Amino acid sequence: MQNKLKQINQLSEKDLEKYLEKKIKNINGLTFKFVSPSFRGVPDRVVIFSGDVYFIELKAPNKKNNLSALQKECITAMKQAGANVCVIWNKSQVDEFVNSLQNN
């Protein structure tokens, strides 16, 4: 059990991104790296599935509760503007997100 917990906590943000990409590709969705040179704090990824767009901020499990003030502000503003935005911390949350896409 401790070994598995150790593996979860050692998962990098890059590993989580690759996992999200694979899961979205498996359901015929699209995912893009999102970079905004003129505005910092935007989420890492854009996911498009069945005509809906989602902005995803990915954080490694060992960085839990480590959103910067700028990221929090950006996510709040995007949600207030009606955007679909979520923060994902681990593979099980990726799985939950993908399942929610398929069940809508």
- CATH number of the CATH domain containing 60: 3.40.1350.10
- Residue 26's contacts (CB-CB under 8 Å, 6 or more residues apart) are 98
**Would you give per-residue pLDDT tens digits along the chain (104 residues)?**
444 544 545 788 899 999 999 999 999 999 999 888 888 899 999 999 999 999 999 998 876 668 999 999 999 999 999 999 999 999 999 999 999 999 97
In this prediction the pTM is: 0.86
* Range of the structural domain that residue 25 is part of: 2-102
Count of domains for the chain: 1
